Amino acid sequence: AGLEPSPPARHRGPPLEPPHPAELLLLLSCPDFRAHFASLFGSEAAEQWRFASAAREEEVSEDEEEDQLRALSWFALLRVRHGLEEEADLRGPALAVVPLGTVPKGTPLLACGSPFGSFCPDIFLNTLSRGVLSNTAGPLLLTDARCLPGTEGGGVFAVRPAGALVALVAAPLCWKAHEWVGLTLLCAAAPLLRAARDALRSLHPNTTSLAALLPPELGAPWALPLQDPGPLWAAAAVLVEYGTVWGSGVVVAPRLVVTCRHVAPREMARVLVRPTTPKSAKIWGHVVFATRETSPYDIAVVSLEKELEGVHMPVPTEHFHEGETVSVVGFGVFGQACGPSVTSGILSAVVQVDDTPVMLQTTCAVHGGSSGGPLFSTSSGDLLGIVASNTRDNNTGATYPHLNFSIPITVLQPALQRYSQTGDLGGLRELDHVAEPVRVVWRLQRPLAETPRSKL
Amino acid sequence: MRRQWEPAMRVAEQAGCVVSASRAGQPEAGLWSCSGVILSRSPGLVLCHGGIFTPFLRAGSRVLTEAGASFLPGDSCGDDLRLHVQWGPTAASPLGRVERGRPGLCTPQC
């Protein structure tokens, strides 16, 4: 495509700067990022994962895809001879960089990139996307801010302190076993810039002076490493392992965990529960109740062999507010490899039968392995429900992580309380005998307006 | 909520840019592009993704996975590499707009 200067007004504000020539100073990579990438996505899981390509006109061949996988953890430092200096005083304060390990999971993030790269800068230049920090493994970060091919290299910024640089986009789209994951892979900016400083100093005498011009890392209090990596309520999420099957769960009492029946299907089965903190803890428990296959509520209850200490017990909500900001905490995607992921969205629907909430829907990114995990109100931290499933289109085989279904905690709470206090399973057993309209809802069918009349 | 995000949005948009790579004298040979972050304005320093440089590496992309490689000098890419950086306008800049073709993109009705 050629460059054609033309007068018409730009669609988004004042006219764009023309592209300025630049020179490549160096290519750099963060070895720690690559090590974590290999351990999370390498080995046997490798063939399951695919990452989006950098924006390019033609289809991507296998060789090119391999090239791009090799380059996924590489970044480039360029020098722009002209154009930026004239504006130096027009642009606000210099950039600052957030030190590694100081941003807790669940922190709001703002991604800024240009979908499809330089194809349509008039329309797409510096497009914004919002999300939270979903998970971290060293300098390898994940956010649920949705990004598109072409945004590789774009900056990801914190809201507080305003506009501090947290990371750069490494891979905007990730697929696992053909399922779009809905998470964006990031490389933390601090270690990347340290690598750039070291390289500039060792590369060439006349580039040493440039090292001092790279944005500094924020000092205290931002530089204090995190004590608790995430919001208080996130610690209630636990990993539940039953043989080779694993899923998520939530602690509802010091010795009681709720998960999904399809994670821990058999009563009296022994399961292993791994809390988020302390990381290394493992507690055995056994399934005291699991709904039958015929029940629409996919629930199991695990009694722990000893109390879980130091975990904030979530407060069950009594009300639901459609549209409120919510968070899902679950071990989807990475499971045991790293702690639970936090994804954000809104409570998109509360489905009621006879004025009673029987199903919650959210726009959070929910993946295989998140089942049984908790759904929280982001503002109050109250427990809203238990994640049961996301959505797959059987015709196309496409999975939609951002449409998922949770069981309202108001359905479970009375029975859980009764069992906690008296050991009586009666309330939980009633979950096997729910009314037909509730079954119809969970079969994703239209609730019957009225029972069909016989024609006879 | 928007007020909370505004300062970060301003910084993000001012630091954002797009980087394109092509071959000297062969613009039809392909255009690789990605996003980037302006780290410094004087002199201009930009950090962007390295994926767009793989077609230009003299030693091929394998050099990226050689053990211990954590950086490569700028001359690891061929001399035919041409780079351009484009960024958003400041309120004051009265410069003309640049029209670019839009190969491969369309806006299907949902």
Per DSSP (E only), the strands in A115-234 are: 127-137, 140-143, 155-158, 165-171, 174-176, 179-180, 184-188
pLDDT value of position A268: 86
Query: SS3 for A309?
Result: coil
pLDDT value of position A8: 44
- Ranked by mean pLDDT, the top range of A409-418, B22-31, B53-62, B95-104 is A409-418
CB contact under 8 A, A154 and B42: no
Q: Which of A53, A74, A151 sits opposite B64 (nearest CB)?
A: A74
CB contact under 8 A, A58 and B30: yes
**How large is the average pLDDT for residues A374-403?**
90
**Of A175, A183, A186, which Cα lies nearest the Cα of A146?**
A183
Is the confidence at residue A358, as pLDDT, over 60?
A: yes
The shortest C-alpha distance from A376 to chain B (Å) reads 19
The string of pLDDT tens digits covering residues A194-212 is 999 999 998 877 788 899 9
pLDDT value of position A164: 94
Cβ atoms of B43 and B52 closer than 8 Å: no
Residue predicted with more confidence, A121 or A48: A121
User: Two tokens at A34?
Assistant: 């690559």
Is the confidence at residue A54, as pLDDT, over 80?
A: no
Window 383-422 of A, Cβ < 8 Å to B: none
CB atoms within 10 A of CB A241: 18
The string of pLDDT tens digits covering residues B13-65 is 999 999 999 999 876 667 899 999 999 988 899 999 999 999 999 999 999 98
The shortest C-alpha distance from B107 to chain A (Å) reads 12
On chain B, the residues whose CB falls within 8 A of the CB of A168 are 37, 47, 49
Is the confidence at residue A228, as pLDDT, over 60?
A: no
| d(C-alpha A274, C-alpha A282), whole Å | 5
* A10–chain B Cβ distance below 8 A for any pair: yes
Instruction: Give me the residues paired with residue B33 across strands.
Output: A55, B20
CB contact under 8 A, A165 and B72: no
Phi, psi of B27 (to 5 degrees): -55, -25
Window 209-238 of A, Cβ < 8 Å to B: 210, 213-215
On chain B, the residues whose CB falls within 8 A of the CB of A19 are 20, 84-86, 98
The string of pLDDT tens digits covering residues A135-165 is 999 999 999 999 999 999 999 999 888 889 9
pLDDT value of position A1: 33
* A69–chain B Cβ distance below 8 A for any pair: no
Interface test mutation site (partner B, options A51, A56, A58, max chain B beta carbons within 10 A): A56
- How many Å separate Cα A430 from the centre of its chain? 34
CB atoms within 10 A of CB A397: 9
On chain A, the residues whose CB falls within 8 A of the CB of B24 are none
Model ipTM value: 0.86
Q: What is the CA radius of gyration of chain B?
A: 17
The shortest C-alpha distance from B58 to chain A (Å) reads 13
Which helix (H) or strand (E) segment is B99 a member of?
A: strand B97-99
Catalytic center residues of A:
262, 298, 371
Which helix (H) or strand (E) segment is B5 a member of?
A: helix B2-15
CB contact under 8 A, A71 and B54: yes
pLDDT band of residue A51 (cuts 50, 70, 90) is confident
pLDDT value of position A16: 78
- How many Å separate Cα A340 from the centre of its chain? 9
Instruction: Give me the residues paired with residue A79 across strands.
Output: A23, B45
Q: Which of B65, B72, B84 sits opposite A20 (nearest CB)?
A: B84
**How large is the average pLDDT for residues A228-243?**
82
| d(C-alpha A82, C-alpha A426), whole Å | 76
**How large is the average pLDDT for residues A39-51?**
71
Q: DSSP characters for B78-92?
A: -TTEEEEEEEPPPTT
| d(C-alpha A195, C-alpha B70), whole Å | 8
Q: How many residues make up chain B in this entry?
A: 110
CB contact under 8 A, A126 and B73: no
**Of A179, A1, A212, A227, which Cα lies nearest the Cα of A94?**
A212
The shortest C-alpha distance from A85 to chain B (Å) reads 5
Q: Look up tokens 């490493």; give the residue.
A: A225
On chain B, the residues whose CB falls within 8 A of the CB of A69 are none
Window 88-127 of A, Cβ < 8 Å to B: 88, 90-92, 94-95, 108, 110-114, 116-122, 125-126
Residue pairs between chains A and B whose CB atoms are closer than 8 Å: 362
On chain B, the residues whose CB falls within 8 A of the CB of A87 are 41, 90, 93
* A323–chain B Cβ distance below 8 A for any pair: no
Q: Which residue of B has its CA nearest to A155?
A: B37
Q: Which amino acid is at A196?
A: A
Window 326-385 of A, Cβ < 8 Å to B: none
Angle between the N-to-C axes of helices A31-41 and A189-203, in degrees from 0 to 180, rounded to the nearest 10? 130
pLDDT value of position A20: 94
pLDDT value of position B102: 46
What average pLDDT does the structure give for chain B?
Answer: 81
What average pLDDT does the structure give for chain A?
Answer: 86
User: Two tokens at A85?
Assistant: 């200096």
Residue predicted with more confidence, A230 or A121: A121
Q: Which residue of A has its CA nearest to B78?
A: A24
pLDDT band of residue A455 (cuts 50, 70, 90) is low
On chain B, the residues whose CB falls within 8 A of the CB of A157 are 8, 11-12, 15
Phi, psi of A258 (to 5 degrees): -105, 135
CB contact under 8 A, B101 and A72: no
Q: Which of A20, A77, A88 sits opposite B47 (nearest CB)?
A: A77
User: Two tokens at B33?
Assistant: 């592009």
* A80–chain B Cβ distance below 8 A for any pair: yes
pLDDT value of position A82: 77
Is the confidence at residue B110, as pLDDT, over 50?
A: no
| d(C-alpha A163, C-alpha A159), whole Å | 6
Sign of the Cα pseudo-torsion (A75, A81, A82, A85, in order):
positive
pLDDT band of residue A2 (cuts 50, 70, 90) is very low
CB contact under 8 A, A84 and B87: yes
Whole-number Cα distances in Å, A247 to A42, A310, A336, B23, B82 = 21, 22, 10, 49, 49
The string of pLDDT tens digits covering residues A71-110 is 999 999 999 987 776 665 555 567 899 999 999 999 999 9
Instruction: Give me the residues paired with residue A80 across strands.
Output: A22, B44
